[in-house]
Chain A
């Protein structure tokens, strides 16, 4: 089965204007998106998400490595005809009406006049802009422009949708509608690759995610696996010996933190790799282990644990 997106060893280096030093925006990034998946692309600002998306849409060329989309190069006309793309904060020809914009893009997709008319009508209804079809785009609010952006991305009924921050600028109702749209597209077998800062949406919609930071992949996999915490955190609930001064468990290697549930009960959280030795040491120290298991992380905690921003936030609070 041909992957919807295949990225292998992708590197992109820029030289900012008037500077000698190059900036490495993406460093040896590899991942695969399977057909029919909803794939989340996560990371803080400056992680390299938009750079990677620009390679996938043929806006920039990689410095090294390769990317294929629907089995072909991203710059191929045949490939682009099967892909829909919504850039981050899309900019439009503000002198056009939404119907005119979609008509011009429909011509680029080789649609005949009747198909264009029908499709434009369907899409403006679908994104809730039918009432504003005769207004020029310069009179649209940010949320309305985001909806036009979604309409143009869906114009060709694409097999693969690449959405860069699709919820950006939308109110909660708009976000819910976009989330429903993504779910309905998934139900129709479409592949959706999207980046978002809104973690709840990623958690709700994505089958798999890649977490990117400073141009490198920090984690990749099924969201359930990543959040189950087996690889990241485990916890043990232990009873303290009555009257005893227990050892300072929080200083043991591999222990992330110790929480007091009540005066006689502690929750010891350790990294996944170090958990078994920690558990062994707890037993040897005379603690009564009343429970142990995986600790399910929130996506936010996972992201904070993996990225530089998370490191900085922890340092600031220490």
Chain B
């Protein structure tokens, strides 16, 4: 064993932050794509096509298209959320548990870049996942002669954005909590986020618990004012009713999503930066 190498020939600059984040994202993507979970995803996509067609068979004749659109989009959204929460919660824990961070963190990389790299890698995984499931959904629509339209692509973009937001939440929790706790907390935020329109309706109502109890009202106002409203990512009704979904709406929701992602990732980075890897 000889140690060849010449200090002049081996670059020892630390490179740019972007290059490092890209390398870490690439590793995350390779890990996910070689994971058995991706095989499971393929099976789930096939199951999605089959179940969408099966459910539409049960519908009244002129409702079959509506069922296919609604059920298909719901299934893509649900699977994306599951992937986002599970992978977001597991990835950092796995690195700590298997001590692979002992090799990565002593390299010239900031801890914030590690979190950013994990997030970017998971976003890429979600792009592939949503694209695969979207293709399966389109296949089920095509098989039942339901016309495809560009708004369906926008609906998939919005599904991906919701999954991205939940990924940032999962990474934030997994920067300090166990996978089970992180999963429970993230799922809790998901449930609250999907319930925001109901809460807002209750707040607008003239009677009910939120009118009778000032404490409950204050809590409900705080929740609706701070938690992400995940209903903005769902345009299933618009697709069914033929209401156009503009790119300006998608752009607005993207900004909304980016704001929350930056907030949760910044908090996660702050905690991760101070963490000891014993």
Contact = CB atoms under 8 A, between A and B. Distances in A.
A60 to B, nearest CB: 4
A127 B23 CA distance: 24
Contact of A177 (B1, B16, B109): B1
Contacts, number: 140
Contacts of B26: 104, 107
A253 interface: no
B277 A110 contact: no
Contacts of A252: none
Given A104-B26, A119-B10, A110 B108 contact: yes
Given A110-B16, A181-B1, A80 B10 contact: no
A214 to B, nearest CB: 18
Interface string A153-173: 011111100000000000000
A110 B19 contact: yes
Interface in A286-302: none
Interface residues of A, number: 52
Interface stretch (B27-35, B64-72, B144-152): B27-35
Interface string B87-120: 0000000000011111111111110000000000
Interface string B24-45: 1011001100110000000000
Contacts of B16: 110
B96 to A, nearest CB: 11
B14 A115 contact: no
A119 to B, nearest CB: 6
Contact of A109 (B12, B98, B105): B12
B143 interface: no
A91 B103 contact: yes
A1 interface: no
A157 B6 contact: yes
Contact of A126 (B2, B31, B105): B2
A308 interface: no
B20 to A, nearest CB: 5
Contact of A91 (B11, B31, B102): B102
A59 B10 contact: no
A237 interface: no
A92 B103 CA distance: 8
A3 interface: no
Q: What DSSP secondary structure best describes chain B's contact surface?
A: loop
Contacts of B34: 95
Interface in B261-278: 274, 276-278
A152 B102 CA distance: 12
A276 interface: no
B276 A59 contact: yes
B222 interface: no
A45 to B, nearest CB: 15
A175 B163 CA distance: 49
A152 B106 CA distance: 11
Contact of B3 (A57, A100, A185): A185
B2 A184 contact: yes
Given A59-B102, A110-B19, A126 B30 contact: no
B255 to A, nearest CB: 31
Contacts of B110: 77
Contact of A112 (B11, B30, B101): B11
B108 A152 contact: no
Contact of B7 (A83, A152, A157, A178): A157
B13 interface: yes
B99 A91 contact: yes
A154 B1 contact: no
B118 to A, nearest CB: 13
Interface of A: 14, 54, 57-61, 77-78, 80-83, 85, 87, 90-93, 95-96, 100, 104-105, 107-112, 115, 118-119, 122, 126-128, 149, 152, 154-159, 177-178, 180-181, 184-185, 188
30 contacts: A54-B277, A57-B106, A59-B106, A60-B278, A80-B14, A80-B107, A81-B12, A81-B108, A87-B102, A90-B103, A92-B100, A92-B103, A93-B100, A95-B31, A95-B34, A95-B35, A104-B24, A105-B107, A108-B107, A109-B13, A109-B14, A110-B13, A110-B14, A111-B11, A115-B11, A128-B1, A157-B10, A159-B7, A180-B2, A181-B3
Interface of B: 1-7, 9-16, 19-20, 22-24, 26-27, 30-31, 34-35, 98-110, 274, 276-278
Given A60-B276, A77-B108, 8 more contacts: A54-B278, A58-B105, A83-B106, A93-B100, A104-B27, A110-B19, A111-B10, A126-B4
